[in-house]
Structures are given as C-alpha cells and as structure tokens.
Amino acid sequence: MPFCAACVTLATTYSNNVAENFESRLKFYISRRLTKLIPGLSQKNAKAIAGDYIYELLARSDPHWPFEDEIAVSDFDQAVETICGEFAILMPEWQTNAEKLSASPGSYIPV
C-alpha cells in the first residue's frame, strides 16, 4: 500500500471513530458532569437524564424527561442550565445528531 493511501485510510478511520463515538462520549461526559453538580445523584439517574433529556436538548431534538413522577425536572434546572450554558459557549451553533455528524464530522469537530 502506498504511503498516501495509508494516510487516507488512517484519516478515514479516525473520522469514523470520532463520528461513531461522539454521542456516547458526550452522554458520558454530561452524566459525569451531573454527578459533580448534584451530589447524591445516582449514576443510573445521571445517565438517564444525560441521554434522554440534556443531550436531546443540546441537539435541539425532542427532549424527554426520563422520570414520570419520581424526580421533578425543576429539581435539576440549575444543573441543566449550567451544562447547556457551557456547551453554548463551546459550540454556539451546535445542532447535531449521529446522521449529521457522520456526513460531515469536520463541521462539528476539528479533524
């Protein structure tokens, strides 16, 4: 394999890795951030809030609060605003999902 072809293959593999793992890594980061902001929050609840609510809120999708009556969304307003505010500073125009990211990862993440 020529050197140039190997570089193209490596770049493609890197881009695919970024696109395929972006959502799970971001949800993991959000859940960890929640547990730091809200002491006593279980990791299970943090993962549910991060995946079903905050990530969807950031992606401008349809956020769904994962708990019916157990935990009120108002109990987490400050933490949600903090996390969303951090991402608004980092990525002001961020509006992505797996399909958009796979189509053009360089638009969202420097590769």
Under the banding of pLDDT at 50, 70 and 90, the label for residue 58 is confident
Spans of all domains in the chain: 23-103
Q: Per residue in 3-16, pLDDT tens?
A: 688 888 877 777 77
Nearest to 31 by CA among 45, 17, 18, 21: 45
Q: Per residue in 64-80, pLDDT tens?
A: 888 876 677 777 888 98
Q: What is the spatial distance between Cα 9 and Cα 19, in angstroms, rounded to a whole number?
A: 15
The whole-number pLDDT of residue 7 equals 81
Count of CB atoms within 10 A of residue 70's CB? 7
The whole-number pLDDT of residue 63 equals 83
Q: Per residue in 80-91, pLDDT tens?
A: 899 988 887 776
Q: What is the spatial distance between Cα 82 and Cα 86, in angstroms, rounded to a whole number?
A: 6
> Average pLDDT of 12-36?
84
